[in-house]
Amino acid sequence: MRIDIISVLPELIRSPFEASILKRAQQKGIVEVQLHNLKDFGMGKHRQVDDYSFGGNAGMVLRPEPLFECIEFLQSQRSYDAIIYTTPDGRRFDQKAANNLSLLENILVICGHYKGIDQRVRDHFVTHEISIGDYVLSGGELAAAVISDAIIRLIPGVLNDETSALTDSFQDNLLAPPVYTRPAEFRGLDVPEVLTSGHFKKIEDWNHEQALQRTKERRPDLLED
């Protein structure tokens, strides 16, 4: 998979891709992530990328010219299976969306900033408008990092068996059960006996029961569909 990310502040999200699982996925050659600075396509001596919105609503909007130039340049190198725009007015991101996107080969992410991007860019290029939750971030960069992480960890070969995505919360519409490690007893606090029993089936049943219990308490909405 290849993910291209267009941003006015690429330095804001360089580090998530240079550590741990995302770094290793790139080193293994499973995924390639490229950040592109929209200012490289900015207009005039000052590399301008934004302007006041028509209609007088306060706030700056990313102009269409630099975005059209940048996107068309990237499209001349490869064709994209999805062009994502990160925006609080997008469709809310969830595990199902991550699963679907993880099957694609080439993804382009446009990070919103200020009051957003000119609507003509959205109309002309964008295939997926995604929000990561009902709150407002200063820009789409952190959302792009969140979405990329959620997608990349699902690609076969990125995680090993111990960290397998199959046991993640949400994969079966349930939250994950509680987990314990050594020691089995710590300051008088015991690990539930079933977990040290060695009975695989009993452990599996216990985990499922706990997952169900947690989901009922914390996220009953997940059990509705």
| Dihedral angle computed from the Cα positions of residues 194, 195, 201 and 202, in that order, rounded to the nearest 10 degrees | 20
Residue pair 185/191 in contact by the 8 Å Cβ criterion = yes
Nearer to ligand 6GU, 131 or 215 (CB): 131
How is the beta sheet containing 2-7 ordered, strand by strand?
32-37, 2-7, 106-111, 82-92, 128-131
Closest approach of ligand 6GU to the CB of residue 180, in Å? 34
Q: If 0-12 CB within 10 Å is exposed, 13-18 middle and 19+ buried, where does residue 112 land?
A: buried
Quickly count: other Cβ atoms within 10 Å of residue 158's Cβ.
21
Closest approach of ligand 6GU to the CB of residue 110, in Å? 10
Nearer to ligand 6GU, 143 or 159 (CB): 143
Cα Rg of the chain, angstroms: 21
Closest approach of ligand 6GU to the CB of residue 179, in Å? 29
Residue 224's alpha-carbon distances to 92, 175, 220, in angstroms, are: 17, 14, 7
Nearer to ligand 6GU, 78 or 92 (CB): 92
Question: Can you tell me the distance from the alpha carbon of 126 to that of 206, in angstroms, rounded to the nearest whole number?
Answer: 45
3-class DSSP assignment, residue 91: strand
* Residues found near ligand 6GU in the complex (CB under 6 A): 86-88, 112, 130-133, 135-137, 139-140, 143
Nearer to ligand 6GU, 71 or 130 (CB): 130
Nearer to ligand 6GU, 140 or 177 (CB): 140
Element (H, E) at 220: none
Closest approach of ligand 6GU to the CB of residue 134, in Å? 7
Nearer to ligand 6GU, 85 or 174 (CB): 85
Closest approach of ligand 6GU to the CB of residue 129, in Å? 9
